Structure formats: C-alpha cells, structure tokens
C-alpha cells in the first residue's frame, strides 16, 4: 500500500527545508525524506558556515533580524547597501555567465523577502564579523556582500530548519533514502520508493 502525502521533499538540507516550509503553507501533508541519521542530517548545509547571501539597504535594514548587533557595535560598523543590481553581476561572475538569467533575476529580486520569511519561520541570523569584516581606523568594514549567517553555522541552520518544520507539522523521516521513482500510466513520476528502517515503501500524492 502506498503512503499518501501532498508533497514529498527528498533530502533535508537548506533548500529542501525551504521547499518544505513553503509547501506546508499550502497543503496538508508534507514529508521530508533524509538518508542520513538524525545526528548527521542536513547534507552539505550541515558543514557550511551557514552564510546567507541576501540583499539589504544597509545596516539598519538588517538590525531587526540579526541577534549580535548592539548599539555600540552598530556605531563602529560600516555596511554599504547590497542591492539586486549588485547581486546579479556577482551571480554571473561566480557562475562564469552560465546562470539562467530569468531564474537568477527571480533569486536576486526575492532574496530579501525570502530571508525575512525564513526568519519568521525560526531561522536565527547574525552578522558575520569574524568572516566578512576587517578593522580600519577603529571601524568594522564589511566586504563582499555576504554578511549574514545563521547562529550556530551550518549545524545551527539545520537544527533551526528541523525545529521550524516540526512546529508546522512537516513529517521528517531519517535513515530513509529514496531509491527509486514511481510512475503512473502516462509514464509521469507519481511518487518515490523509500528504503527506510521498516523496509521499502512507495510514497505518492495524497490525491
């Protein structure tokens, strides 16, 4: 018998959990399948610094979502704006011009709203003074546009995603790799095959 869900997300990294958060706002049953055990969940996201590239108008624009900015620190911090028009050429340069222009434009234009949406879900942010700033004449000057990180780095990023997903009713299964796809009569993918602790299982749409 096939287990029924509206949305099945394969993997439990940053992108996967972002998809699960968005899905549970719209449908009733969302499942995340992660092949790693609970203590190693998160894929590559777990091993990163938790850095989040987003756009902002300056220091005041980020104060409401970061946890490590005191008034004293703000007075000695230089953080120039990083706009979508700054983000776009960085994407083109970083991908050597191979990024999809339409999708990249959506990414850079929606980055700020998405960052705040994830903060509302429970992600905790900090300014990465230790990685992205240097001191000049008593001022902390940020560079490169990549100034925001999650509290606790990659490990904290995954833990905060997991907590947010559990609060919203997303089901997460660990030690559950996806090993195959299920096709309907029209040869379209209609589900996945999961090899979990209880054995192989077909998982498909709710309807």
pLDDT in tens, 87-146: 999 999 999 999 999 999 999 999 999 999 999 999 999 999 999 999 999 999 999 999
Whether 207 shows a pLDDT value over 70: the answer reads no
Residue 9's CB is within 10 A of a number of other CB atoms, namely: 24
- Residue by residue, DSSP assigns 118-161 as HHHHT--EEE-HHHHEEEETTEEEE-SS--EEETTHHHHHHHHH
Whether 205 shows a pLDDT value over 90: the answer reads no
CATH 1.20.1050.10 describes domain 1-49+155-207: no
Distance CA 65, CA 86 (A): 21
Contacts of 42 (CB under 8 A, 6+ apart): 12, 13, 14, 36, 154, 155, 157, 158, 161
Average pLDDT, the chain: 94
Q: How confident is the model at residue 2 (pLDDT cuts 50, 70, 90)?
A: low
Q: Give residue for tokens 């996945």.
A: 192
Percent of the chain with pLDDT over 90: 91
Whole-number pLDDT of residue 204: 82
- What average pLDDT does the segment 6-25 reach? 97
Whether 84 shows a pLDDT value over 80: the answer reads yes
Whether 78 shows a pLDDT value over 90: the answer reads yes
Whole-number pLDDT of residue 187: 84
Whole-number pLDDT of residue 155: 96
Whole-number pLDDT of residue 63: 94
pLDDT in tens, 171-201: 999 999 999 999 888 888 889 999 999 899 9
Whole-number pLDDT of residue 3: 79
Q: Domain map of the chain by residue range?
A: 1-49+155-207, 51-151
Whole-number pLDDT of residue 206: 60
Whole-number pLDDT of residue 24: 98
The DSSP secondary-structure symbol of 46 reads G
Q: Is 197 helix (H, G, I), strand (E, B) or coil?
A: coil
pLDDT in tens, 46-56: 999 999 999 99
Q: Is 30 helix (H, G, I), strand (E, B) or coil?
A: strand
Whole-number pLDDT of residue 190: 87
Q: Are strands 139-142 and 77-78 parallel, antiparallel or unpaired?
A: parallel
Q: Is the Cα dihedral 193, 2, 203, 172 positive or negative?
A: negative
Distance CA 158, CA 123 (A): 9
Query: Structure pTM?
Result: 0.91
């Amino acid at each position: 018998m096939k287990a029924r869900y509206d949305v099945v997300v394969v993997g439990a990294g940053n992108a996967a959990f972002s998809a699960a958060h968005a899905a549970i706002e719209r449908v009733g049953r969302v499942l995340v399948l992660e092949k790693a055990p609970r203590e190693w969940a998160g894929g590559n996201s777990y091993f990163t610094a938790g850095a989040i590239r987003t756009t902002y108008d300056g220091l005041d624009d980020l104060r409401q979502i970061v946890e490590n900015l005191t008034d004293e620190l703000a007075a000695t911090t230089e953080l120039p704006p990083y706009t979508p028009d700054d983000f776009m050429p960085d994407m083109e340069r970083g991908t050597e011009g191979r990024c999809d222009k339409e999708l990249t434009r959506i990414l850079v234009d929606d980055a700020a709203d998405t960052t705040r949406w994830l903060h509302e879900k429970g992600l905790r942010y900090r300014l990465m003074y230790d990685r992205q700033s240097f001191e000049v004449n008593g001022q902390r000057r940020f560079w490169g546009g990549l100034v925001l990180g999650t509290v606790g780095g990659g490990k904290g990023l995954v833990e905060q995603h997991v907590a947010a997903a559990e609060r919203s009713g997303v089901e997460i299964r660990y030690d559950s790799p996806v090993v195959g796809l299920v096709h309907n009569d029209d040869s379209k993918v209609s589900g996945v095959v999961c090899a979990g602790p209880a054995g192989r299982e077909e998982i498909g749409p709710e309807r």
